[in-house]
Amino acid sequence: MLPLLKYHVRSIFVRWRATGATILGLALVVAVFVVLQSLAIGIESASASTGDPRNFLVVRQGALAETTSVVTREQYNIIRYQDCIARDAAGQPLATADVHVILNLPRADRTGSANALLRGVSPQALALRPQVRLVDGRWFQPGHREVVVSRRLATRFADMQLGGTFKSGGITLTVVGHFDAGRTAFDSEIWIDADEARGAFDRPDFSSVLVRAASPEAAAILKPLIEGERRLKMKVVRETDYYREQTRAAMLPRLLGNGLALIMSIGAMFAAMNTLYASVASRTREIGTLRVLGYRRRSILFGFLLEGALLASVGGLLGCLLALPMHGYSAGTLGWESFTETVFDFRITPALAARGVLFAVGIGLVGSFLPALRAARLPVIASLKSV
C-alpha cells in the first residue's frame, strides 16, 4: 500500500499546474469561510466575556434587552435595599440603575453617521464592572455634561478625543476620559451619570438595575425574591447569562458565511473533479499497470480519494494562512439588540482553523469520488493498450 501512496503524492508534483489551480481555488473558499466565521466568533466572544457571575440584571418582565426595559425610581429603591444585596465598605448597596440612550453620531471619517449607546450609570457601576478601567483622562463629574468613552469606540466616531464635544438632542457633551473594557460588550458604549442622562434626555425612568448578591446563598434566593414581589413585576437574570444570550448580531455573518461557503464549495468541487478527471485520463496506462501489479479496484479508488483529500488539505491550510492576517482586526457592526454600533475583533481560533481544513477535505473527497470511481472501473487490458 505504501508504494501506491507514494505514487499519488508524486503525481501531485508532476502535474503541478493543474493541482496548483485546484489548491488555490480551495484556499480561497476556505479563506472566505474562515474570515466570515471569525467575524461571528468575535461578536459572540465580546458578549460571552461580559459580566460577573456574582451580578444579576433586573429588567421589566417581557423585555428582551435593557433598551426595551423600564424601571422606576421607586422600583429601584425596593430592589437595592433587599437583604440579599451585597454592600460596600461604606454600607451602601452594590447596585446601579442604568439608563440607555441611543445617540446618532457622525463617523470618524465624516462619511455618514451611526447609532451609539450612551449608558447612564450610578456611582456603584465601577465596583460592579471591574473590567472597565480608565486609560486616559478622568472620570466624568455629575452635573457637568461630561462623558467617558470607550477607547475602541472613540476611533469610530468623530469628536471623541479628549476634550472633544459633540451634540445630540440639543445637548452638548464633553469627552473627559477614555476607558478600556477588556474587549467586552462595554467597549461599545459611552458612559455618563445616570441622573444627568435622565434629565438631559427627558428620561423619567431607568432602563435596568444591576445588583450583586451578598453570598452564594443570597444568590439562590435573589431571583425568586425579586420576581415574586408584586410591586415590581421584574425579571432577574444572571449578568453573564444575559450577555451570552445577546449574540443575535452574530447570526447574520454566520449565515452569510455558511451560504457563501456552500455556493463557493460547489464551484471548488467541480474544479477538483475536473482536475482529477483530467488526471485519470492522462494516467490510464499507469492505472492499468497498478492493476497488473495486483492492486484491487478498491485500492485504486482509495488512492484517488486520498489524492483529492491531500490536495484539499493543502488548500485548506493555505486558506487558513490567507485568513490569518484578519485575526485581531477591530471592526464594528450593527447590534440587533440595541441597533447601535457593536465593536468586536475578528477571532481565528485553532478550532475554527481545524473546521476550515475539514471543510476543505470534505470538498476534496466529494469532488474526487466520481473520478476515483472511474479510475477504479477502468478495464485492465484497455488501460494498458491506451496511448
- The span from the CA of 160 to the CA of 125, in Å, is 22
pLDDT of 330 higher than 50: yes
pLDDT at 288 exceeding the cut of 90: no
Rounded Cα gap, residues 286 and 303, in angstroms: 13
* The pTM of the whole model exceeds 0.85: no
Structural contact between residues 51 and 293, judged by C-beta atoms closer than 8 angstroms: no
How much is the pLDDT for 298? 75
103-134: b or e for each residue (b if 16 or more CB lie within 10 Å)?
A: bebeeeeeeeebebbbbbbbebbbebbebbee
Residue 387 CA to residue 371 CA, distance in Å, equals 19
Angle at 244 between CA 227 and CA 94, to 5 degrees: 50
β-strands 146-150, 171-180: how paired? parallel
Q: Which of 38-47, 164-173, 290-299 has the lowest average pLDDT?
A: 290-299
Name, in order, each residue with C-beta under 8 angstroms of 103's C-beta and a sequence gap of 6 or more: 115, 116, 117, 118, 168, 169, 190
Residue 134: beta bridge partners? 179
Inform me whether the pLDDT recorded for 387 exceeds 50.
no
190 in Cβ contact with 103 (< 8 Å): yes
Angle at 341 between CA 338 and CA 346, to 5 degrees: 120
Average confidence score pLDDT of the chain: 83
Q: How confident is the model at residue 291 (pLDDT cuts 50, 70, 90)?
A: low
For 35, the grid coordinates are: 474570515
CA-nearest of 275, 278, 264 to 363 is 264
Name which of 226-230, 264-268, 344-348, 352-356 the model is least confident about: 264-268
- Supply the DSSP string of 202-262, one letter for each residue: T--SBSEEEEEBSSHHHHHHHHHHHHT-TTT-EEEEEHHHHHHH--GGGHHHHHHHHHHHH
Residue with more model confidence, 331 or 198: 198
- Residue 194: helix, strand or coil by DSSP? helix
Residue 283's pLDDT is what? 64
Confidence class of residue 336 from pLDDT cuts 50, 70 and 90? low
Could you read off the pLDDT of 85-121 as tens digits, one per residue?
999 988 999 999 999 999 999 998 888 899 999 999 9
Please say if the pLDDT value at position 327 is more than 90: no
pLDDT at 249 over 70: no
pLDDT (0 to 100) of residue 286: 63
Q: Has residue 284 got a pLDDT over 90?
A: no
pLDDT digits (tens, 9 = 90+) for 64-85: 888 889 999 999 999 999 999 9
In this prediction, what percent of the chain has a pLDDT beyond 90? Answer: 41
* Alpha helices, H only, the chain: 2-14, 16-48, 73-80, 125-128, 151-154, 194-200, 216-227, 239-245, 251-282, 284-292, 297-323, 350-377, 380-385
Residues 273-285: what's their mean pLDDT? 65
**Res 74: pLDDT:** 94
Average pLDDT over residues 192-204: 92
Average pLDDT over residues 264-274: 71
Higher pLDDT, 103 or 260: 103
Least Cα distance to 235 among 262, 208, 214 occurs for 208
CA dihedral 122, 102, 343, 160 (to 10 degrees): -80
Residue 384 pLDDT exceeds 60: no
Res. 325: pLDDT tops 70 = yes
* Per-residue pLDDT tens over the stretch 120-161: 999 899 999 999 999 999 999 998 999 999 999 999 999 999
Amino acid identity of residue 51, one-letter, is G
Is 192 within 8 Å of 179 (Cβ atoms)?
Answer: no
Residue 2 near residue 291, CB atoms below 8 Å: no
